[in-house]
Each structure stands twice: as C-alpha cells, then as structure tokens.
Amino acid sequence: MNAPLNIRDFMDLANRFPVIDVRSPGEFKAGHMPFASNIPLFTDEERAKVGTIYKEVGREKAIEVGYEIVNPKRSRILSTVKKLIELTPNTGDKTPGTVLVHCWRGGMRSERFANFLNDNGYRTHTLVNGYKSYRRFVINSFETKRNIILLGGETGSGKTEILKKIKNKGENVVDLESLANHKGSAFGSLGENPQPTQEQFENNLSQEFSRIGPEEKMIWLEDEARTIGFCHLPNPLWESMKSAPIIRVNIPKKERIERLVLDYGNYSKEALSSCILKIQKRLGPQHAKQALEELETGNLGSVADITLTYYDKAYNYNHEMRAFKDVHVLECQNSNVDLNAEKVLDFAKQINLNVDV
C-alpha cells in the first residue's frame, strides 16, 4: 500500500530507503534530489505527447495513451527497482523492500508508479506535492542561520587545499567550488566537469548543509564572490557570508605564482589563451597583450604574475566594497598547505572562533 508523506517525513526516510524520481530525463537533468535515481515513466518525447493529448482531448485519453506507453516497460522497471534496492545498504528492510517515489507535483505519475510497485509486493511512499515541495524545502533551508567562518586570501593562496586539510582534521567544510564545478576565476572551468544548473547547484548545496546538522555547528566556507562561474550563491547564504568572520591568509606573491603554474601549467596554450581573453578588458590591452606573448614563449610564471595584478586588485576591492568588519589577517611565510592548515586552526582558536579541534 502507498502512504503519501510530507516533505520532512519523506526526507527522513530518504536516509534509509531508495528514492525514485519518475519524471522524464529532461526534468531530472534540470534539477533533482541529489540522492534520487531516475526511473522515468516517459521519455521527454512521450511526456510531451501525453501532455498534448491531455490538453487537446482530455484526461481519460491521456491516461489510456500513458498506459500504452508504460506497459511494455513494466519488466524493465521492476528489474531496475530490484537492483536499486540491492545497492542500498543497511535498510533493515525485508525483500522486496520499501521505496520512496515522487514526480513533479505528486500527481498521476508517482501514484501509478507506486501502485504498480505495490501490486508487485513493494511498500511505497509518495511525496505530497512532489518535487515542487522539495524545491520549497531547499529554498527555505537557506534561511536557516548558519555559524560560518570564511577562509580568505588572494588568488593562488591554496585556500581550497587548506580547507580540505581542515576537513580531514574533523572540521565541517562545505566546498562551494566543488559543488559548482568551477574554481571561481576566468580560468576556473579548466579541468572541471560541466557546471550544474542553478537549480541543481542549490539542491546539492542544501544537501551538504543538511549533512552537517545542527545550526550551532561551525561551518568553514571559502571566501567567494556571489557567482562561481554561472552558479549564484542563494541570497540568504550570501548575506550570512557577508557578516561572517574571515581568516585571511597572506601568502607571498612568489609562492602564489608557483602554485598557479603548478595548477594550470599542464593545460594547452589555446585553453589558457582563451581564459586570458575573457579578462582582457579588465587586464587592459597592454597587459593582456603581454600575457599572451609570455604564454606563447612558455613563460607561465610571467603570465601568472600579470594576471595576479588584476586578481589581487579585484579581491581587495571586493573586500573594501563589502566593508567586512571581522577580518583577521594571518601571515604565512610559504604555501605549505599542511602547515598553513595548522596555522589557520590555531589562529581560529586564538581569536575564539569556536573550532572543534
């Protein structure tokens, strides 16, 4: 028997049982629960066909055509659900198992899918108001006040690597750049997978925060701009970040240049040239021309030096414009990530930012 659930109860059970999104592949690609598996009732084309019939002929005919489309898929659907349950560890559930099902707005697709599974021995829960209620849940989740510390520093300071070390030491860290598949600069897409949709970025980000739990726990974030590539930080989170304390690591420019050459030196001249051209107006025609010439001769250190002139100014200008009042500067003699992570944690304790380690 199917038992519809509200979003909070649905999310609680999602920690234990498989979640099946029965929407079309196109809907799923645009945005989905990060932990859901897509077993679509209809392809994108089939969904469009049924929708057209529903509008032009009526509900009964649309249901009839829908069954004609879905019936040949029944065996494959059952096989896929069985495999999905087998891959879900430690549910404590007996065979054939319990699954959670949702569609766009908790309508016919999820209901029919759930009833079909019920007829084949499964226990099911559908989501009241479907994926739409999940999206409201996600948007509302960013209204929760978070206890945030920002790690700042000019480009090439190794902030992402420092945060990874801090996470390994037991601190709560949310890697915004990893979630956005982008390192934040004009060079940020190099070596990264395609960026998620804005909707999916928000879903993934909300899920990361939910894993951390209670609001009083301290969360480390990198000091980012409002946009990371094409992904925008949700406004409530951005406002919280603007009032959060910052530990800003100051790394010598020579060390930062060496890190950037190490990080980006293996990319082709064509790829690097394309990135330089993205910021040529901000660099200025002469500096952009010089950077491209240095790139052509293989002098990557000079390329990094020239681009840092722009990025350092932009970073410091943004700090001034945001009028941060709680910025704590930590001088670091080199770019040793392990050493700097220790320094950051020790410094956070000294200035009483309530870190756990």
Q: Is residue 69 part of a domain?
A: yes
What pLDDT digit, counting tens, does each position of 204-261 carry? 999 999 998 766 678 999 999 899 999 999 999 999 998 899 999 999 999 999 999 9
| Environment class of 134 (CB within 10 Å of its CB; exposed 0-12, middle 13-18, buried 19+) | buried
What's the half-sphere exposure (Cβ side, CA atoms, 13 Å) at 144?
A: 19
Q: What amino acid positions are annotated as catalytic residues? A: 103
Extract the tokens encoding 164. 């990874």
Of the three residues 118, 138, 158, the one that is the final residue of a domain is 138
Give yes or no for a contact between 119 and 96, defined as CB atoms under 8 angstroms apart. Answer: no
Of the three residues 109, 138, 167, the one that is the final residue of a domain is 138
**Tokens 């392809």 map to which residue?**
43
Per-residue confidence (pLDDT) for residue 351, from 0 to 100? 81
What are the φ and ψ backbone dihedral angles of 66, each rounded to 5 degrees? -60, -45
What pLDDT digit, counting tens, does each position of 9-20 carry? 999 999 899 999
Asked if pLDDT for residue 181 goes beyond 80, the answer is yes
Extract the tokens encoding 149. 């510390």
Residue from 18, 356, 35 nearest 210 by CA: 35
Within its chain, how far is the Cα of 253 from the centroid?
30
Question: d(Cα 189, Cα 193) in Å, to the nearest integer?
Answer: 8
Give yes or no for a contact between 151 and 221, defined as CB atoms under 8 angstroms apart. Answer: yes
Q: Is residue 355 part of a domain?
A: no
Asked if pLDDT for residue 199 goes beyond 70, the answer is yes
Of the three residues 116, 138, 160, the one that is the final residue of a domain is 138
Which residue range forms the structural domain that includes residue 297?
A: 145-350
Put simply, whether the predicted model's pTM sits higher than 0.85 gets the answer yes
Q: Same structural domain for residues 106 and 121?
A: yes
180: domain CATH number is: 3.40.50
Say whether 204 sits in a helix, a strand or coil. helix
Q: Same structural domain for residues 319 and 345?
A: yes
DSSP class of residue 73 equals G
- Peptide bond between residue 196 and the one before it cis (omega within 30 degrees of 0): no
Contacts of range 36-44, beta carbons closer than 8 Å, 24 or more positions apart: 36/102, 37/84, 39/77, 39/80, 39/81, 39/84, 39/113, 41/66, 41/69, 41/70, 41/73, 41/109, 41/112, 41/113, 42/66, 42/69, 42/70, 42/109
The whole-number average pLDDT for the span 309-328 is 78
